[in-house]
Amino acid sequence: MMKKSNFKFFLLPLFIVVCSIVMTMAFEIEEVPETEMTSNSLSENAAPANEPFDKMMAVLTHKRCVNCHPAGDRPHQGEDSHVHNFGVQRGEDNHGVAALRCESCHQQENNNYSGVPGAPEWSVAPLSMAWEGLTRVEIAQSMMDPAKNGGRNLAEIVKHLTEHELVLWAWEPGVDAEGNPRELPPVPKDEYIKAVKDWAAAGAVIPAE
């Protein structure tokens, strides 16, 4: 049996140990909001003046756009951007070769039974508008270059980016041949449209990188 005095000696260190554990825990709990605050204010500070450009380019570099702006003569498909099945080629007018026209499979709207996406004017973007393999800055430069963009000025680019049905299709991309919904671009449509307009209104500045 433990004597009473021994018991006290046993309790004191135990008390100290418990206290220090509690204090450590208290510190840890207090630290959580502090780190959150720091990282919040950091990301706010880091939010670049060019936030509209970042948002716009997060969409333009997404596969829903780049699959149809390929570098070669074949459009791409799917989340892994594999080369289009059935040997589909761009052809002379970007609507496919005579035997295999885009519009023989792609209709005015998605066909969610067969998984064939659709929108008016479905065709592959001309080679001068190839975005595959470019950095976001190179895409922006190409997009703004009248020699490559179909002779469009800024207003016409903004209109295309915010109103064209092939662009807006990306937010209603339907399901693939297996019935899985296609991934949406990483920025909601309204936010993207606002970002494009804000970027253009602020002078359409393309950052160095």
Q: Could you tell me the smallest distance in angstroms from the CB atom of residue 155 to ligand HEC?
A: 12
**Cβ-based nearer residue to ligand HEC, 13 or 151:** 151
Residue 12, both tokens: 């004191």
Which residues of this chain interact with ligand HEC, rule CB under 6 A?
59-60, 63-65, 67-69, 75, 77-78, 84, 86, 88, 90, 94-96, 100, 102, 104-106, 115-117, 122-126, 129, 142-143, 148-150, 152, 157, 160-161, 166-167, 169-170, 176-177, 182, 185
At position 3, the amino acid (one-letter code) is K
Q: Could you tell me the smallest distance in angstroms from the CB atom of residue 75 to ligand HEC?
A: 4
Nearest CA to 151 out of 173, 133, 126 is that of 126
Nearest CA to 187 out of 171, 201, 172 is that of 171
Q: Could you tell me the smallest distance in angstroms from the CB atom of residue 47 to ligand HEC?
A: 23
Q: Could you tell me the smallest distance in angstroms from the CB atom of residue 83 to ligand HEC?
A: 11
Within a 10 A sphere around the Cβ of 18, how many other Cβ atoms?
10
Torsion, Cα 153 157 163 167, to 10 degrees, reads 150
